[in-house]
Amino acid sequence: MTDLFNVPTTEYIVLVVGRLGTAALLGGLIGFEREWSGKAAGLRTHMTVALGCATFMLATIEISADPSNQSRAIQGIAAGIGFIGAGTILKRDDEAEIKGLTTAASIWLTAAIGAAAGGGQGWIALIGVSIAFVILTAFSGFERWLSPKRKAPQNSQTISS
């Protein structure tokens, strides 16, 4: 029965709580920006994705110290999370209009941040969130500035009589 609940030391429990908490909080930062922007996948979604990925990483580390197993876990997370992200992408009637790509990418990035935090690489997760936050906030204004230029008619000719 002791194998079922192999309770580690208090220090190790604190370490695990720290990694899981860090993953959830960092994922929440990206989710906050998505929520603030009015996107469907927001705070709770991103926090949960990061927490889930961190949990997968910690479970893999606990099961086996073999780095190849951790590598396979990361590969599985990266591929599997794509299905969730794909669900956020909507194709509109207009051929050129697709919505949700940035949110899908942010969910994928959040998975990587959770995996990094769960794997004990919190500094990588923190840098990733910092850069993502700049991309999602600062570049949204630049994207709005470009938007009218992309939608301008390409070959507008006037017929005169």
Instruction: Provide CB contacts within 8 A for 69, sequence distance 6+.
Output: 60, 63
CA distance 108 to 77: 9
pLDDT tens by residue, 56-80: 999 999 888 888 989 999 999 988 8
When pLDDT is cut at 50, 70 and 90, the band that residue 89 belongs to is confident
Three-state secondary structure call for residue 110? helix
pLDDT at 2: 57
- Output the six-digit token pair for 73: 């876990």
- Output the six-digit token pair for 155: 């070959």
pLDDT at 53: 96
When pLDDT is cut at 50, 70 and 90, the band that residue 115 belongs to is very high
Q: What is the pTM of this model?
A: 0.79
pLDDT at 51: 97
Residues 96-113, mean pLDDT to the nearest whole number:
87
> Please, what is the Cα angle at 49 between 127 and 7, to 5 degrees?
95
Return the CA Rg of the chain. Answer: 21
Better-scored residue on pLDDT, 129 or 90: 129
